[in-house]
A and B are shown apart, each in its own frame.
Chain A
Amino acid sequence: QGSSAHLRQAMAVAQHHDAVTGTSKQHVADDYARQLAAGWEKCQVLVSNALASLRGSKEDFVFCNQLNISVCPLTQTASHFQAVLYNPLAWGITWTVRLPVKDWAYHVRSPSGQTVPSEVIDVLSEGSENFRPELIFPASAPPLGFSIYSVTRLPSKTPKFRDCCSTSGAQRF
């Protein structure tokens, strides 16, 4: 059973000027963040239920809250997964989806089953030993609606080269 009451409560508490401006003691700021995170956690259940009833099928929905640092255990381990893009705007959008993955070649299909162009790039800066592959593909979603893309890993080899042109301003400079 999902509920948005927790997030509403946390947002209400966060109207305090200390929460808005960051002028609280550290442990208070941490508690604001804790309340918001707990509220968002409950909302994820709510969103999953909504998607299940809108789609007519219950899935084990996963919310990766650390995509901004290229962390998502599901996409970094699974060979097949779905990406549901929900658009809260009142007009259609196209968006470039970036997902951390574990290999270098994937097949992406649009909601209508068409093949979507996709690429995998290495997001780590030069000089780092290990790779951090990230899958990129263009996606679109209708106004106040969602689209479901299916992603399948293809057998591939680690690329023989890194992305071109590692130039070091410092060295040349």
Chain B
Amino acid sequence: SSSEADKMAAALEAELNDFM
């Protein structure tokens, strides 16, 4: 579902924000 995609994108961005 798109909400699952949104959750995954948010989780990925959170991981990358620590890195960036």
Query: Do the two shown chains form a genuine complex with each other?
Result: no
Which A residues fall within an 8 A CB radius of B? none
